[in-house]
Chains A and B, each alone.
Chain A
Amino acid sequence: MARLALLFQIAVRNLFASKMNLIIGFIMLAGTALVIVGGALFDSLNDSMSRSVIGSVAGHLQIYSSQSKDELSLFGDFGGQESDLEPITDFPAVKAQLEELPHVRMVVPMGMGTAMVTSGNIIDLTLADLRGKLRQQAEGKGSPTLAAEVDSMKSHVREMARLIRQDMIAARVISTQSAQQEQGLETIDRVLSDAFWADFDRAPLEGMEFLENKLAQLLTDGDWLVLRYTGTDLDAFKKAFDRMELVEGTMPPRGQRGLLIPKFYYEELFKVKVARRLDLLKEAVEVNQKLLAEDPDLQRRVKELPVLTRDIMMQLDPLKQRTLVTQLQQALGSEEKDAEKLLKQLLTVNDQNLMERHRLFYELVAPKVELYRLRVGDTVSLQSASGGSGYMSSTNVKLWGTFQFQGLEKSPLAGVTSLIDLVSFQDLYGYLTPEKRAEIQALQKETGAQQVAREDAEAALFGGGAALVAEGESANIDEAAELGTQERAAPRTTYTEEDISGSVVLNAAVMLDDSRFLADSQRSLQGLIEEKGLQLKVMNWQQAAGFLGQLTLVAKMVLYVAVFIIFVVAIVIINNAMMMATMQRVREIGTLRAIGSRKGFILSMILVETAVLGAAFGALGALLGAGIMRWLGQSGIPASNEQLYFFFSGPRLFPALGVGNVIAGLTVVLVVSAISTLYPAYLATRVSPVNAMQAAEE
């Protein structure tokens, strides 16, 4: 004990005796701080990402059928391909068994897929509007203003027809001639004729039907959007993922078909582009404190803005145009008489006028147009080729509202997957109920499987185009009756609890009471599967996150490898420095040996010295690291781009320092100092008293 105290005394005395120790100490200090800060940041990131993944899609654990061809990957694979899963056999029984397990709070059925949906087209919006006005007239609410509006809209429709005709002639440059096109031209010529409009005034509803069914489909205006969806028991989902909140609309009532679209995706893809771009510019300037003039990407967007006026102009009938011109002339102080040119002026923005222009746009332009090409309450036709059959299946679903996850409002990753009820999911998956199977067999006798599938898909598409924004109850049903093929047996719009529980389920999220039980629960679940011989596989959220989960694993690997390399080099350098330091003390060591110190004492002396050095500077490094983490924990690291919102589980990451990180940092630095001092200490023991004292004399 006394010897240790002596060694310690020597070590402390020597600590500041040499400049070299300072240099070595500096490396150790920086190393400790690096390990602590890096480790803590990484743990915090992992933690926040787990909250994002668990809270928005995965739950703590995921189960799926062990018969599946692919592994479950909730975000799709690298190319956005959905994983090919087999349905879980007898899900209700599985669910009941799982919910018996300790710590399991809920089991939520799921199924992922992608569908195509058109973003809606402008002629549909105009026609829907016109139909509304006509109905008001029919109900006897007519007035001179209303009549003027109707007239203005009629001439608007006629103008559109003229534009479509131009487009169709232009199309001849690239496409082969077809009978379909000729028919289209006939339709347009009829709409352009005065006779049609004379008839229209006599029987407006018949005229409307012609326009909606024949004219609207000719305007190939809507983009095909890819809508990624999770089919689920919506109420259970809402309960399990409690960060979910509705932004607009309501939850679909129990037992009704329904679609909920993430607010982010809704804004990004269904909002009129000009408005969305303006919002994003405002956000970049306001929230991210950027300057339009300095950011090249924003510059590009600013330049593009005035070019994108078409969506607005298409929606303005002559009456609205006139009002807008007067208003804009006043607001911009301009003499310009052309609405489009005025609009372009309005949209020519810079850092000074952006806020003002944004306000003007929403005050003057927005009320005159439909800002979203798909409105809450509209019925959407989804086409999907996911699932077993590979052929297109389709279903019509009402959009009940938009939702977001708290803290992940701006994250594209959390905001891309829509939610759909299980029964609609089953239709899209192409799962064959016994009735459907019988129906298809009958059809196969008539023609041939492939032929039918194709007809089916096209019929569904035509039905979809017009049904999209038209008033659900009127246009939709007429068309279904007219086009027939798809909906021989009219699809049920409501269904029972049995339908929900009996539906096809591809995977299920298992929510636990707390993340702490994750590893335990995964084991007990695995145990249950083996014991009961269930054909299931279990994954934790990280494995189920597929590519994203891999991302953190790879990043972790890179971090560890980098830290390892850094310390290998540091060991060499410290070793070198220690060696030189020892060599400088050859005389001292020689003297010590001469007065009777044993080799063991010398060895301990050097080792204790380094340990004290390591401990002292390691502690300083830990303090520095803790200081940095404290500062970061308070100010937070801003998510500089939208993708980071998901990883940060919010707009800022507030990293926390764990005790484990500090211990890891100190351990690493002590190990490093111990390793790097072994060789010099060994050299020191080999110093023979005589040689040492002679060497010093030279």
Chain B
Amino acid sequence: MTPEAQAQPPVVVMILGALFALTFFALVILPLLYSLLWAGPRAQLYQVAIRNLLQHRRRTFLLGGAIALVTALLVILVGLSEGVNQTLLRSATTLMSGHVNVAGFFKLTPGASAPLVSEYPKVMEVVKATLPTELDYMVQRGRGWAKLVSETGALQAGLAGVDIETEQGFRDVVQLREGNLEALKEQGTALIFADQAKKLEVGVGDMLTISAPTLRGSTNTADVRVVAIAKDIGLLSQFNIFTDAGTVRRLYQLNEATTGALQIYLKDISTSDAVMEKLRTALTGAGYAVMDYDPQPFFVKFERVNREAWTGQQLDLTKWKDEVSFVDWVLKALNAVIYLLTLILVVIIAVGIMNTLWIAIRERTREIGTLRAIGMQRRYVMATFVIEAFTLSAVSTLLGALLGWTICVLLDAANIPMPLSVQMFLMSDTLTFAVETQSVLSSILLIGFCTTAIALIPSYLAARMKPINAMHQVG
């Protein structure tokens, strides 16, 4: 999966991760190097920490277990969120969007717009000239919204008129249940998805009537033959059907040089921001009117576009995420739950760590006093405890992440079917997890940082004890 496809780790996680890395460097790597290279005996700090952890096996095991559990949980939840994200990416870029789209509106009158790109071959030339290296391939698709009627049922869906020969990605992603993809070359043919076929009670070879209201105020119909039935792609495939490009043109009485959108597929999806800007400059330079960037799907833009005074053609550039931004709330809600839950759990764990360290310090007060009395510096006392917490959390988070990762992979492979109510939120009919190295690392860093950071407080207090008091203290 390319980088863009991953949920970008939120800024907080990145900052915490960076802080953790810094702390790690300052507290562990530097002292370690220092102790190894210049102060051999002080490497004992680590031995002391590990010895202490091993000595209190039960306590270490429980606390470490809790940390591991939370890390595993975070990895699983983030995996779920990314799974949804990837299903969304796959559905979106197959069904309704390229990585970047050059679409637009054509307005006959200021008040009536249609989602069209007129004289699209010329626009294609500009795109090709602008993106000699970035472009993987480009397709044109007719856009429409229509009612599909069979003998027994009817449903509404988005229409996409495709030139099947040019649709490389579509051919790779769409898995046919029945029928033949090549037949979409012929006039008056359609590809529908399994769920739609079930609702409409049609099979390959059956006829469907497509009826769509046109701008002219009349309703046009076209009869198409179902030539292929494909496996559903997430939940969004319920709202899309594919016909040959000619059918959409006939339906809306459009000429050959007009299409709905140019969908651009890039070699590297992470360049889509840059590509979009490049295209904007190039298309404006070529004399096209390009609308201001509006990160929304095209079908919600009619309302605004219809109220603007211009007529003729304006182009609109969007990225894949914009075209499916109407289901974004699912991801947002899921992420909100993840953060809230993680926050609460981290607080609980932090309390546990503080607690354990308090005990450890109390148990070893006399030892600390003695060590300080024979000349150990404060920072080394502090380091002993921080290193103890750090070692514990490092090992636990690693194990926890490994556990979470394994669970994700197993659950993903199991393809557990989900009830309908959950499908709506996951955008998919089975439980899908996607584990990214990056997100696993951020989980480890986040939990690791928080647990180590909280250890600083008791450690600092331990280091502040006066040797004489500490030695007098009874354990």
Contacts and interface: CB of A to CB of B under 8 A. Distances in A.
Interface of A: 19-20, 23-24, 26-27, 34, 69, 78-81, 84, 116, 118, 121-122, 163-164, 166-168, 170-171, 173-176, 178, 180, 217, 219-224, 273-274, 304, 307-311, 314, 383, 385-386, 390-392, 450, 454, 457-458, 461-462, 465, 547, 550, 553-554, 558, 562, 565-566, 568-570, 572-573, 575-577, 579-580, 584
Contact of A220 (B119, B216, B337, B340): B216
Question: Which 10 A-B pairs have CB atoms at the shortest separation, nearest pair first?
Answer: A390-B149, A550-B421, A573-B352, A308-B307, A221-B111, A390-B154, A576-B62, A572-B66, A167-B109, A174-B258
Contact of B341 (A80, A566, A570, A577): A566
A226 to B, nearest CB: 9
A562 B217 contact: no
Contacts of B311: 166-167, 170
Nearest to B66: A572
B348 A566 contact: yes
Given A27-B348, A219-B109, A579 B341 contact: no
Contact of B153 (A69, A173, A310, A383): A69
B147 A26 contact: no
9 contacts: A79-B156, A122-B111, A173-B118, A220-B108, A461-B218, A573-B62, A573-B348, A576-B352, A577-B355
Contact of A579 (B62, B155, B209, B358): B62
A20 B235 contact: no
A580 B359 contact: yes
Given A175-B254, A566-B344, 5 more contacts: A116-B213, A450-B221, A558-B337, A573-B352, A580-B59
A178 B156 CA distance: 28
A630 B238 CA distance: 46
Given A307-B308, A579-B59, A220 B217 contact: yes
B409 interface: no
A307 B252 CA distance: 28
B122 interface: no
Interface string B63-88: 10110011001000000000000000
B351 interface: yes
A176 B345 contact: no
Contacts of B351: 23, 26-27, 573
A69 B341 CA distance: 40
A461 B344 contact: no
Nearest to A453: B221
B11 interface: no
Size range of the interface on B?
Answer: 35 or more
Contacts of B106: 173-174
A499 to B, nearest CB: 26
A572 B258 CA distance: 65
Contacts of A84: 153-154, 199
Q: Which of the listed residues A26, A79, A80, A84 has the most CB atoms from chain B within 10 Å of its own CB?
A: A79
A428 B65 CA distance: 64
B109 A221 contact: yes
A69 B150 CA distance: 14
Nearest to A166: B311
Q: Which of the listed residues B150, B211, B238 has the most CB atoms from chain A within 10 Å of its own CB?
A: B211
A176 B69 CA distance: 65
Nearest to B150: A390
Contacts, number: 194
Interface of B: 58-59, 62-63, 65-66, 69-70, 73, 106, 108-112, 114, 116, 118-119, 147, 149-150, 153-156, 199, 209, 211, 213, 215-219, 221, 223, 235, 238-239, 252-255, 258, 302-304, 306-309, 311-313, 337, 340-341, 344-345, 348-349, 351-352, 354-356, 358-359, 420-422, 424-425
A461 B219 contact: yes
Given A311-B307, A562-B341, A580-B356, A170 B108 contact: yes
Given A20-B358, A308-B308, A577 B352 contact: yes
Nearest to B340: A562
A163 B112 CA distance: 13
A392 B108 contact: no
Contact of A570 (B63, B308, B348): B348
Q: Which of the listed residues A454, A562, A577 has the most CB atoms from chain B within 10 Å of its own CB?
A: A577
A225 B254 CA distance: 22
Given A224-B213, A553-B421, A584-B359, A310 B309 contact: yes
Given A308-B307, A454-B221, A575 B62 contact: yes
Q: Which of the listed residues B215, B217, B254 has the most CB atoms from chain A within 10 Å of its own CB?
A: B217
Given A308-B307, A454-B219, A170 B253 contact: no
A435 B423 CA distance: 45
Given A174-B255, A385-B147, A458-B219, A576 B66 contact: yes
A569 B400 CA distance: 13
B217 A20 contact: no
Contacts of B238: 78-79
A554 B219 contact: no
Contacts of B341: 562, 565-566
B16 to A, nearest CB: 20
A573 B155 CA distance: 54
A25 to B, nearest CB: 11
Given A116-B213, A569-B66, A173 B313 contact: yes
B115 to A, nearest CB: 11
Contact of A273 (B73, B307, B349, B358): B307
Contacts of B235: 78
A580 B63 CA distance: 12
A392 B345 contact: no
Contacts of B217: 118, 217, 220, 222, 461-462, 465
Contact of B253 (A118, A178, A222, A314): A178
Contacts of B425: 554
Contacts of A167: 108-109, 311
B349 A573 contact: yes
Contacts of B153: 69, 84, 390
Contact of A307 (B59, B70, B307, B422): B307
Nearest to B110: A310
A164 to B, nearest CB: 7
Nearest to A698: B475
Contacts of A579: 58-59, 62
B304 A304 contact: yes
A386 B354 CA distance: 64
Contacts of B359: 20, 580, 584
B108 A171 contact: yes
A513 B328 CA distance: 41
Given A392-B211, A461-B217, A580-B359, A569 B345 contact: yes
A387 B239 CA distance: 19
B307 A310 contact: yes
Given A450-B209, A576-B59, A565 B73 contact: yes
A79 B422 CA distance: 15
Contacts of B108: 167-168, 170-171, 220
Contacts of A465: 217
A168 B253 CA distance: 14
Given A163-B109, A220-B215, A566-B348, A175 B62 contact: no
A569 B70 contact: yes
A330 B341 CA distance: 59
B261 to A, nearest CB: 14
A565 B313 contact: no
A174 B219 contact: no
Nearest to B58: A579
A187 to B, nearest CB: 14
A310 B111 contact: yes
A167 B111 CA distance: 11
Contacts of B422: 554
Contacts of A175: 252-255, 258
Contacts of A450: 209, 221, 223
B114 A174 contact: yes
Contacts of A547: 424
